[in-house]
Amino acid sequence: MHPTGDDVTSREVTSSPVSRRRRWLIVVLVIVLLVVLVRGIFFETFTVPTGSMEPGLRPGDQIVVWKIGEDHVHRGEVIVFNATDAFGLAAGDSSNAVVRAIRSAGDAIGIRTDQTDYVKRVIGLPGDKIVVGHDGVLTVNGHAVKEPYLPAGMKASKVPLRVVVQPGCLFVMGDNRPASDDSRNHLGSPGGGCVPIGDVIGKVVLRYWPIGSWERLRS
């Protein structure tokens, strides 16, 4: 049985360029939606704002942050956290409902809109005793810590310190110690300069921009 003219016309309409473009558009939208959802749940991307983590991370570097649970933070890891509570920073004007909505939407899909996110290295975990003597050597719980990520010849800290990290908190420092606003600078604050683990967004796992400096980050 040969197809009628109406059947041929129907097939032509079904496979028309407009119909194919519509199908491709739907596929692309679904892929974009999946990427956004995965990004919001598992990872986020950030731009390094300052030189406090040099030489490992430089201003303008683009990094990938893998979201982690509270039980998966380790000494030596580079993390991104919200410093509003730990360092007494202003979270910005949130009285405007539109501003609040934009921030909430951005956070939900993995696009950080806040200016209080810091990138630092974890030096101490809850209960750790951190000491830097006049010799500039860092010890944690009585054991000297090697810090190969520091610039050559740089001491762990020019200012001696002795701290016991509070429960549920982390003690953090930048790799470029003289130019880093970190836990050392806020020892006298109510939180003692320690970062609540609940404020940790995730750990830095990859620098993907500039392309020539692409690399995984290790402790």
> Which of 152, 154, 151, 145 is closest to 124 using CA atoms?
145
Number of domains in the chain: 2
Q: Based on the number of CB atoms within 10 Å of its own CB, is 32 exposed (0-12), middle (13-18) or buried (19 or more)? A: exposed
pLDDT band at 30 (very low <50, low <70, confident <90, very high): confident
Print the domain residue range for 94: 44-216
Q: Which residue of the set 16, 52, 129, 203 is catalytic?
A: 52
- Do 114 and 64 share a structural domain? yes
- Cα angle vertex 24, ends 20, 26, to 5°? 120
* CA atoms of 133 and 131, how far apart (whole Å): 6
Residue 120 a catalytic site member = yes
Instruction: Answer with the residue of higher pLDDT: 137 or 116.
Output: 137
Q: 99 or 30, which is more confident? A: 30
Residue 83: is its pLDDT beyond 60?
yes
**Domain co-membership, 73 together with 164:** yes
- pLDDT higher than threshold 50 for residue 12: no
159 vs 112: which has the higher pLDDT: 159
Residues 31 and 119 in one domain: no
Contact 170, 200 (CB under 8 A): yes
| Helices and strands (H and E) in the chain: how many | 3, 12
Of residues 155 and 11, more confidently modeled: 155
Q: What pLDDT does residue 6 have?
A: 53
pLDDT band of 205, cuts 50, 70, 90: very high
Catalytic residue among 15, 95, 120, 129: 120
pTM for the whole structure: 0.73
Do 120 and 180 meet the contact criterion of CB atoms below 8 Å apart? yes
52 carries an active-site annotation = yes
Q: What is the CATH number of the domain that holds 124?
A: 2.10.109.10
Q: Output 86 or 186, whichever has higher pLDDT.
A: 186
Structure confidence at residue 84 (pLDDT): 87
Pairing of strands 138-140, 129-132: antiparallel
Residues 161 and 207 in one domain: yes
